[in-house]
Structure 1
């Protein structure tokens, strides 16, 4: 062990055995305890003051350093980072960063993430010699299935985000389509048209279709329900299915649309699956966490019948970024292996007998992303995540009440879960929406993102951070009132 302020005998012996070690590396190894202590103190300062740090910045670093011959050493490099880049790091993991759908990091997940870096495993195998850290991943998947109340017939794995989760699920779906028509797309390439049915897919889904060679424009659009909805019209879906005359297809449904968090009717889709032959994928990147709320879990009723599901952990699970999971029904694992296996590596053995994530997902190199999730789930349990989710829903509704009671703002859609989609009241103020949002974000006190909904310029505020409180709502609504009053006063003048 390294002692505070010094170097242990083990480290000293290691350094003496590497006389030719680079001087900076040698010095950093000796000073590692102090270096990590400095970073810990800096990290704690950031976390303890995250509510005061700006949510946006206009500061741009000037110039790009050239690579030095001898290097600077870590202590000097840390000084360089702080002087040049610390000022542009915003509190995207803080309580008032409501743009996109960005979570924070729970204390337990930070501990898990630090250990992930320190242990530095390339996570694939569960048994045999060498790294078997995938056993942690499989246990974490089981914990997630428990949290989401999903059956154990799903095989899951960790990827970087919703884009790669959707990509992984749809890659297996692509292989399923091929086998249905007597083709092996993984080996032969996509040689036939693939029917994709969906209503309002997330941009990451469209990107995945492009990457998979399916074609981002190769989508049969389904109508959505009336009355300000973004959910699939089931009757139109069945009509589109009948028009395919028995051809297999992939249905991509939403477990929470990005603008208004609308959910497709999973129970109705499950009934259609009994009647028709298709692959059912659910993009539930953040909406899947509705299951944690007793009052909202009905929104995902029936989702256990899907073939694949996307969940983004660095959103509502509140773990550090680059963390998502895919769930694919285990009955499709042979298709998954056909899609992802490293077939030219005989030393890996039979992929169905010797389990390795190498043969079940895109990356051949991956860190132990499961560990931050494992720590957070064990630390806070089902009740902890129920509290986080229900608090965010409560705050979203409080913010929505402010919008509803204001003469200057109006909701563009009802608040179904945790996202508030709104605009400035009155058609004459549509051109002022971006001006208002820019001024609001420029305060550095809150960050929201623009959108377009039903042809109107809008603003989205997503509540997923475990740190957000009623006080944050008060701070933001006061700012909004001040800014909109100034804008309207300028119009009058």
Structure 2
């Protein structure tokens, strides 16, 4: 018997079971442990003869589903992980059903939908019309694409092309930033520029925002050398923003490429309350914004925007340079490292059409309000210390101890996360082992703050008791 054909014949019945499974997960998400740390691994082998989709679903449900975390839920505050809106899930399921290969824009209307989605996102983020954009897998890849264009821009300054000549005949490329994200370091390694090429400029006192005076001093000292400035529109620890207006104005005096890493901070544009934080973003040559963060679409999804599509094509074109074609009429496979890729734009299109500007304004403002509420509780508490003002959606804090070790911090976090009521991640801020709580899920409500706070208090009180016993 052809099992695939049999599955096709009963496909509607199987899908009904999948919908039931998914609905149970979606509706019971708030009762699921936010993170899972222990589980039994069943013995499983590749079958000689398969048993069909229904049996596979049953095995998955019985053996694996219970041990998947509730990271899509309202109290997962680790990293900056958005949930998936109902509309984005619909779009993502249809991506698999239609199974379009978005290597080019001419096979179907899918390409038009992606371009339409990019236009809607430009409007959401208040980007000028001279930007073009493309979907990629995440912020790391968006930063890679932006820095690849910047690398080509510098090479062309010296009369070379990295895509043809490589990096061998040009001076070392310099990347300048105040608090670059780890993905910037990874991108320089992948691009052959090297991690040592990153020059970190001092930040303002008790800030993660670059000191503009120090930046200008650096640019003046290297006035005859083109460089790349990576500006932050939302750092991961404290959601601090570089002064994009001031940096943009420096472009009239100095020769540099401005890349803005706005992975989640770019969403400040959605609210008139926080819009001023991204003022000046339109000075950028390239921009990174992550969709599976605050847009709340399923993994994986991000966008890269650029003002220099021809440089982008020079790097990523799918045809040899001497063949032409791609330069004059670039398609999706000429714009990013991927040739074949999934229809990533569709979940974003669905959620934007379903909820619009007002829906995302509410999401951003609600998350920020809740982050500030938690920040206030921490600031008022004898047990914790707020390390930075809550500027947007991340609370950065530590245990209120004179001396905190990384081991102590991680032990507290492990105890907190193992309860299953909330999940937070460790960091280091100004040399202090710290904790990050990132609010970016559409589900999160005030009742969650009460649960989160109770989890923090019970964990820290147990932790204090344990420290006394150890002494």
After TM superposition, the score normalised by the length of structure 1 is 0.92
> What is aligned with 2:117?
140
Is 2:420 the partner of 1:444? Answer: yes
Question: 1:226-284 CA distances to partner (integer Å, 9 max, x unpaired)?
Answer: 1x100011111111111213111110110111101100000101110111111100000
What SS does structure 1 have at the residue aligned with 2:252?
Answer: helix
2:11 to 32, 35, 42: 32
> Partners in 2 of 1:151 and 1:131 — Cα distance?
27
- TM-score of the superposed pair, with normalisation by structure 2: 0.96
Question: Is 1:150 aligned to 2:127, yes or no?
Answer: yes
> Residue 154 of structure 2 corresponds to which residue in structure 1?
177
Quick check: 1:201–1:252 contact (8 Å CA) kept in 2?
Answer: yes
**Equivalent residues in 2 for 1:453-492 (5 A)?**
453-492=429-468
Partner in structure 1 of residue 66 of structure 2 = 87
User: Does structure 1 residue 423 correspond to structure 2 residue 398?
Assistant: yes
Shift of 1:131: 3.1
Q: Aligned to 2:222, which of 241, 244, 248?
A: 244
The counterpart of 1:116, out of the listed 95, 99, 104, is 95
**Compared CA separation, residues 294 and 405, structure 1 to 2 (3 A):** same
Query: 1:63 deviation in Å?
Result: 5.9
Take 1:396 and 1:215, find their aligned partners in 2: how far apart are those partners?
A: 36
Alignment CA distance shift 1:243-1:484 (3 Å)? same
* Equivalent position of 2:284 in the other structure: 306
1:266 aligns with 2:241: no
Conserved? CA contact 2:404–2:432, under 8 Å: no
| Separation in structure 1 between the aligned mates of residue 328 and residue 164 of structure 2, nearest angstrom | 21
Counterpart contact for 2:314–2:327, Cα < 8 Å: no
Partner SS for 1:258: coil
Indicate which of 333, 357, 364 corresponds to 1:358.
333
CA distance in 2, matches of 1:491, 1:370: 51
Residue 204 of structure 1, CA deviation: 0.9
Aligned to 1:76: 55
How many Å apart are 1:349 and its aligned residue?
Answer: 7.2
Compute the displacement of 1:51 (Å). 0.4
Which one of the candidate residues 424, 429, 432 is aligned to 2:408? 432
8 Å contact kept, 2:209–2:241: yes
Q: CA deviation at 1:434?
A: 2.1
Counterpart check, 1:277 vs 2:279:
no
- Residues 117-153 of structure 1, C-alpha deviations (whole Å, 9 max, x = no match): 11110114334xx334111110000000000111110
- The higher radius of gyration belongs to 1
Contact 1:123 1:368 in 2 (8 A): yes
Aligned to 1:384: 359
1:165 match = 142
2:337 match: secondary structure: coil
Alpha-carbon distance, 1:421 to partner: 0.4
* Deviation of 1:62 (Å): 2.8
For residues 23-52 of structure 1, the C-alpha deviation after alignment (integer angstroms, 9 at most, x for no partner) is 111111111111111111100000101101
8 Å contact from structure 2 (residues 223, 254) kept in 1: no
Paired residues for 1:213-362 under 5 Å:
213-226=192-205, 228-329=206-307, 332-344=308-320, 350-362=325-337
- Do 2:422 and 2:455's aligned partners in 1 also have CA atoms closer than 8 Å? no
Cα RMSD, aligned residues only? 1.6
2:41 is aligned to: 62
Post-superposition CA distance 1:189-237 (Å, at most 9, x none) = 11231111111111111101100111012111111011x1000111111
| Separation in 2, partners of 1:442, 1:155 | 44
1:201 pairs with 2:185:
no
Aligned residues: 466
1-side partners of 2:200 and 2:102: how far apart? 39
371, 381, 389: which one aligns with 2:346: 371
In 2, the alpha carbon distance for the partners of 1:35 and 1:86 equals 17
